[in-house]
Amino acid sequence: MTVPAPTNRTGMSMSFLNPAQSVTEFKLESWMESERMEKSLVPPSIELNNISKSYGNVQALKGLSFRLEPGERCALLGPNGAGKTTTLKILVGLLTPNSGEAKIGNYSPSSEDARRIMGYLPDDASPYRSFSVRENMEYIGALRGVEDVSDRVDRLLDLLQLREYEKAKVGRLSRGNVQKLALSLAIIHEPLALLLDEPLNYLDIPTQETVIDQLKNLNSTLLVSTHIMEVATRLTERVVMISHGSVVWSGTLNDLKKLGKDGEPVEKIVARMLTDVL
C-alpha cells in the first residue's frame, strides 16, 4: 500500500510521536484518522500541548495541556481570567499561541480541514446584525457548504422556536433569541468538534432543555467553557479545571464529587479547589 506523503493538510507535528512508533506507522495512522473523520464522520480528538499565550505583559496561558478523546464531552472550568476564552480561541484557530501546539484530530486549528468539521460559539455571540434570522442561517450554511441549507434552516427554526422571527433583523431580537440563533449557526453544519463558550446563557428553561438534548445527540467531541456547574454536569462527563493559564485538575465528574464530603454540592468542591489555587 502506498502511504501518502506527510501532508500540510494534516499539519501533524512530530512532537506527538510515541517514541516506540515508527515515522511510517505514524503517518499511516494520521492519514487513516483523517480519512475516517472525513468519510465516516468520526469525531476528532481535541488536543492542546504545552500552549503558552501572552497579551503584552499579561500571560494568559502557561504551558496548558489537555486532550479530549474522540466523541468525549468535557467542561472547561475556571475563575474569571483563567484563560478559558483564550483556550477556545486558540483551538478554533482565531489566535496563534506563542508556543506549543493545538490540534483538532490531525489538523492544525487554522487549517481548512479543521474548520470544515468544527463548530464554535463564543461568549456573548453576536450574529450579523443587519441580516434577518433566516439570512444569517442561510448565509453561514452556504459558506459551510451545507447541501440542503433551506431544509436544515427550517428544521433549526422549528427546533429552537425561531420560526416567528425568521424575517426579523437580529437587532430586533431579545438576547435569548440571539443566543438561540447563535447556537443554530454553530451547529448548522453538524460539526464533529464543537467548542462552546457559555452555551446556555440567556436561554429560558424550556429552550435550555431542548438545547441540552440537541447537543447530547450530536455526534461530536464537545468542549464547553462555563462558570455554571449545572451546565457542566448536564452536558459533559469530564472536567478540566484551569487557573492562571494552567490545568489545575482534570478528571470525571464522579472523581470530582468524590473529592467532597458526603452530600457536599459539587459547586462548593469546585469553589474550594479554585480558592486554594488562587
Partner 1 sequence: MSYKLLKFIILSRFSKQLLALMLVLMVYALFISFETGSTTSTSIYYYYGPAFVAFFLILPILSGGIAVMKSDRDFLFTLPIKRSDLAFSLFVVQLLSFGLIIIYVLAYSFSSLKPVFVYALIDFAALILVITSLGPITYSLKIQWRILLAIVLAIWPLSVFVGFPFSPAAIYSGHPLYADITSIILAVITVPLAFRSLSRVDLDMMKTFTRYSSGQVRHVRRFSGMSPNGAIFAENFFVVEISGRMNSMGGGGSYRSGRFRLWKGVLVTAVLAAVYYYMFTYRLTMSLHTQEMAVLIISIYSIIFVMFTTMGILGNERLWLGFMTRNPTRYLRDILVAKSLSMATLLSPLAVANFLIAYHGNEQALNFGLLLLVAIPSLIIIVVFMSAFLYPFQIKEDLMMPGQFNLRQMGTLLPALPVWFLVALSFGVLEAGLTLAAIIITLLTSVIMAGIALAMIYSKSMGQKLIDKLVTVGFV
What residues are paired with 250 via a beta bridge?
240
Q: Which of residues 145-204 bind partner 1 (CB under 8 A)?
A: 145, 149-150, 153, 166-169, 171-172, 185
Residue span binding partner 1 (CB under 8 A) among the ranges 8-16, 106-114, 204-212, 267-275: 106-114
CB of residue 146 to partner 1, shortest distance in Å: 9
Q: Which of residues 231-270 bind partner 1 (CB under 8 A)?
A: none
Q: Residue 137 or 270: which CB sits closer to partner 1? A: 137
Q: Residue 150 or 275: which CB sits closer to partner 1? A: 150
Strands 118-121 and 221-225: unpaired
CB of residue 77 to partner 1, shortest distance in Å: 21
**CA-to-CA separations, 191 to 23, 62, 185, in angstroms, rounded:** 30, 29, 11
The span from the CA of 118 to the CA of 193, in Å, is: 5
* Residue 117 makes contact with partner 1 by CB under 8 A: no
* Residue 115 makes contact with partner 1 by CB under 8 A: yes
CB of residue 23 to partner 1, shortest distance in Å: 27
The span from the CA of 80 to the CA of 100, in Å, is: 23
**Widest pairwise Cα distance in the chain:** 59
* Residue 110 makes contact with partner 1 by CB under 8 A: yes
In the numeric block, which cell numbers belong to residue 4? 501518502
Q: Residue 175 or 258: which CB sits closer to partner 1? A: 175
Residue among 166, 83, 75, 186 at smallest CA distance from 126: 186
**CA-to-CA separations, 249 to 49, 84, 113, 194, 253, in angstroms, rounded:** 16, 14, 31, 22, 11
* Residue 95 makes contact with partner 1 by CB under 8 A: yes
The span from the CA of 225 to the CA of 205, in Å, is: 19
The span from the CA of 218 to the CA of 221, in Å, is: 9
**CA-to-CA separations, 116 to 119, 190, 227, in angstroms, rounded:** 8, 10, 28
Residue span binding partner 1 (CB under 8 A) among the ranges 126-134, 155-163, 217-225, 267-275: 126-134
Contact 114, 190 (CB under 8 A): no
Q: Residue 38 or 135: which CB sits closer to partner 1? A: 135
* Residue 72 makes contact with partner 1 by CB under 8 A: no
In the numeric block, which cell numbers belong to residue 84? 478559558
* Residue 55 makes contact with partner 1 by CB under 8 A: yes
CB of residue 211 to partner 1, shortest distance in Å: 17
**What would the x/- binding string for partner 1 be over residues 6 to 45, using CB under 8 A?**
----------------------------------------
Which parts of this chain interact with partner 1 (CB under 8 A)? Answer: 55, 89, 92-96, 110-112, 115, 118, 120-122, 124-132, 134-136, 138-145, 149-150, 153, 166-169, 171-172, 185
